[in-house]
Amino acid sequence: MPSAAALAQLEALYREHHGYVWRSLQRLGVPEPHVADAMHDVFLVVARRLHEFEHRAAMRTWLFAIAFRVAQGFHRDRQRQSQREQPLDDPDAGPAPGTSVDNSIALHQLLQRLDDDKRAVFILAHLEGMTAAEIATVLGLKVPTVYSRLRLAREAIERALTDAPSHSPRRAQR
């Protein structure tokens, strides 16, 4: 049974970071209807270990690492369950152009073209602006592995941007 102070600390953390966790889970390919459940899991992992967290380390780094694992678990479960089901989000389906929401969806669909490992590296490098060394720490990888995954991820995203004109910013900005 946690103390009231521990729960209050967790709540403050939740208030501050739920937006970041929500967005990270979306970027990591968790579909909209499941993001709340995934976020619930992320903060339960935090709750269990919060007393060990030393505030000199970056909280967001830890949150992303947890979100990554939760998303991985989600994808594994989903793969097992839905052999016959139609995927909720088809990565090849282009977004309807025109609004910022469409552009946001386009970003998530682009990211879904990558597997879990490359996607996480790409997000941390291009969307979170982390260095290779920081990414290696977050994901528990060696720095050369980070570089190699990042190169492959960039190639795949470049290809996707070129192949699918609906994903291009010009079309989306119209």
Q: Please give the residue ranges that form the binding site for another protein (CB under 8 A).
A: 1-2, 7, 10-11, 14, 18-19, 22-23, 35-36, 39-41, 43-45, 47-54, 56-58, 61-62, 65-66, 69-70, 73, 100-104, 106-108, 110, 126-127, 137-138, 154, 157-158, 161, 167-169, 172-173
Nearer to another protein, 104 or 145 (CB): 104
Cite the DSSP H helix spans in 28-168. Answer: 32-49, 59-81, 100-111, 116-122, 132-139, 143-163
Residue 9: exposed, middle, or buried by beta-carbon count in 10 A (0-12, 13-18, 19+)?
middle
Nearer to another protein, 6 or 88 (CB): 6
**Shortest distance, CB of residue 70 to another protein, whole angstroms?**
7
**Shortest distance, CB of residue 83 to another protein, whole angstroms?**
24
- Write the DSSP symbol of residue 139: H
Q: How far apart are CA 172 and CA 166, in angstroms?
A: 7
